[in-house]
Amino acid sequence: MRNNMSAFFARLIGLAAVLVFLSPAIKAQDFDYTQLGTQVNEYTVIVKVKISLSFGTHSNEREDRILGTVVSEDGLVLFDGSVLGQDNIFSALSGVDVRTRPKKVTVTTLDGKEYDAEFVGSDRFTQLAFAQIKDPNIKLNYVKFATGSNFVIGEWVTLYNLLPEFVAPPLSADIGMITANVTSPEVIPLTVGFSSMEAGSVLYNAALEPVGVLGLVMDPSNAQTDASGLIESFGDYQVTLMGIIIGERLNRMIADPPHKGKIDRAWLGISLQALTEDIAEFLNIDASGGIIVNDVIARSPADQAGLEVGDVIYELNGQAIDVDKEEKVPIFQRKIAEMGSGTRVELSVIRPGENSSEAISMEVMLEKAPLPPSEAPEFKSTPLEFTVRDLVFADYMRLNQETESFKGVVISEIDPGGPAQLGGLWYGDIIQRIGDKSVFDVEEVESVLTTLEMEKPEEVIFFVWRNNKTMFVNIKADWK
């Protein structure tokens, strides 16, 4: 998943990286690696994640080995979650879920103690993930990130990264330098000398204070339409931009980790485009940038506030919106998303008319963004060999259906050669009734199928919605 070539070029144009094993007492620049190595050993762990990859009716598994850091006494572990992937625009528009899901997580300390853990969730913007060790009686040493750090251009920082499993000891040190304090699209000190394979590693200053975690600087021009799951950015020679996810942001995430199924980002409920110079001139609008409203989702915050198709938003909370090209649209989307549900925002809007334009000021109460497909509750029927999930906003948009009148669950996975596929169920079918029982969510499906598994009928009749029409599908069940 990570681009080894970009890491190679990054080292060519950056500073020469210095690798230092934990065992020797070696200093690089002003770092005392003997002291730091002792410190790092207390809370550094190795995370192994067994991942299920699915694409339509096809699925596979793999195991990734990742450097992790204990961030709480009760065993909350932070690690690079980019291997887990995110929802993508293809999933949202086609209904075909292209995704990766953690099935099993184990955490091993550097002294060899192994713990079962549970995946908690991953942050959509930093791609940092969290796992929780399951032992309720555990008490571990953990990292405490410094806040208020003054990041100076030219300052050296260091980290430890995970070596391949066949190498001992397991860690090596690397150094890099702060090259810029970036403020857009987000506040992040930019570094040079590190590779994307070191993402998620804790960074230390010369005083050996943990000042943050190495992360990828995201390119908004490659973002999805909902500004979530931003893709890593590449400059000339495909060089990955790396920076420090600072302690203040990390501490907020640790206090309230992202959870699967918990939506913590906000939305307006519009489709939009950039107010380019040409469009501004055509509309006779005196603004250097803004957001053109192309569509308003019914009952969304934008709809309730009175936004209309054709409106041009040129200020957010009194600040000009510097969006004069399509590549900048996701910056606005991300800003809205990170404000959080329940936030009141002030929009300055120009509403073009036939003869003149009207300036409008409106207040919008942001709401939680809709649940994406990969976060929806699921249920797998082991005897019939298929998985269903709840319908989400993206499904209703794709199918052009209303949430109040269209009910059911969607088949998100179906095992090749299993009873469900052999009987005629398709990936993407919307199951609306099983036998004589209507089903509106996965809990109802689980209840109905659990009862049928005890009764063991020779066949199960499904009433499904497929390709804009309904039909019955008879499945011969082997309950065993």
**Side chain identity at 226, as an amino acid letter?**
D
Give the total number of structural domains in the chain: 3
Q: Are residues 324 and 230 part of one domain?
A: no
Alpha-carbon distance 282 to 268, whole Å?
26
In the chain, % helix, strand, coil (3-state, to 5) comes to 20, 40, 40
pLDDT, position 117: 96
Q: Are residues 210 and 103 part of one domain?
A: yes
Q: Are residues 218 and 128 part of one domain?
A: yes
Q: In the predicted model, what is the mean pLDDT of residues 169-187?
A: 89
Whether the Cβ atoms of residue 68 and residue 81 lie closer than 8 Å to each other: no
Q: Which of 466, 434, 465 is nearest to 450 (CA)?
A: 434
Any residues with CB less than 8 A from the CB of 128 and at least 6 apart, and which?
78, 79, 80, 81, 122, 200, 213, 215, 245, 250, 253
Largest CA distance in the chain: 77
Q: Are residues 153 and 124 part of one domain?
A: yes
Q: Are residues 104 and 171 part of one domain?
A: yes
Q: Which of 348, 368, 388 marks a domain boundary?
A: 368
Which of 34-38, 366-370, 391-395 is the most confident on average? 34-38
pLDDT, position 358: 86
**CATH number of the structural domain spanning residue 52:** 2.40.10.120
**CATH number of the structural domain spanning residue 313:** 2.30.42.10
Q: Are residues 363 and 381 part of one domain?
A: no
Alpha-carbon distance 387 to 404, whole Å?
24
Residue 153 is assigned to a structural domain of this protein: yes
Alpha-carbon distance 256 to 245, whole Å?
16
Residue 157 is assigned to a structural domain of this protein: yes
Q: Kindly report the length of the chain.
A: 480
> What is the number of alpha carbons within 13 Å of residue 68 lying toward its C-beta?
31
Residue 256: exposure state from Cβ atoms within 10 A (0-12, 13-18, ≥19): exposed
Q: Does 424 score more than 80 pLDDT?
A: yes
Q: Are residues 214 and 275 part of one domain?
A: no
Domain containing residue 276: 266-368
Higher pLDDT, 14 or 101: 101
Residue 73 is assigned to a structural domain of this protein: yes
Whether the Cβ atoms of residue 396 and residue 402 lie closer than 8 Å to each other: yes
Q: Which of 223, 255, 287 marks a domain boundary?
A: 255
Alpha-carbon distance 441 to 444, whole Å?
6
Q: Are residues 394 and 280 part of one domain?
A: no
pLDDT, position 58: 66
First to last CA, the chain: 40
Whether the Cβ atoms of residue 84 and residue 122 lie closer than 8 Å to each other: yes
Q: Does 15 score more than 90 pLDDT?
A: no
Q: Which region among 44-58, 130-144, 145-159, 397-411 has the lowest average model confidence (pLDDT)?
A: 44-58
pLDDT, position 301: 93
Q: How far does CA 206 lie from the centroid of its chain?
A: 32
Q: Which of 255, 289, 304 marks a domain boundary?
A: 255
Alpha-carbon distance 293 to 311, whole Å?
5
Any residues with CB less than 8 A from the CB of 436 and at least 6 apart, and which?
none
Residue 295 is assigned to a structural domain of this protein: yes
Residue 114 is assigned to a structural domain of this protein: yes
Q: Is the pTM value of this prediction over 0.85?
A: no
pLDDT, position 55: 63
Q: Does 238 score more than 60 pLDDT?
A: no
User: pLDDT class for 56, splitting at 50, 70, 90?
Assistant: low
User: Can you point out the beta strands (E) in 72-150?
Assistant: 76-80, 98-109, 114-122, 128-133
Q: Are residues 382 and 364 part of one domain?
A: no
pLDDT, position 226: 41
User: pLDDT class for 240, splitting at 50, 70, 90?
Assistant: low
Q: Are residues 417 and 441 part of one domain?
A: yes
Q: Are residues 64 and 201 part of one domain?
A: yes
Tens digit of pLDDT for each residue in 93-139? 444 555 677 889 999 999 999 999 999 988 877 889 999 999 999 99
Residue 261 is assigned to a structural domain of this protein: no
Alpha-carbon distance 460 to 449, whole Å?
9
Alpha-carbon distance 416 to 374, whole Å?
21
Q: Are residues 293 and 240 part of one domain?
A: no
Q: Which of 215, 239, 2, 234 is nearest to 125 (CA)?
A: 215
Residue 260 is assigned to a structural domain of this protein: no
Q: Cα torsion for 374, 376, 381, 386, to the nearest 10°?
A: -40
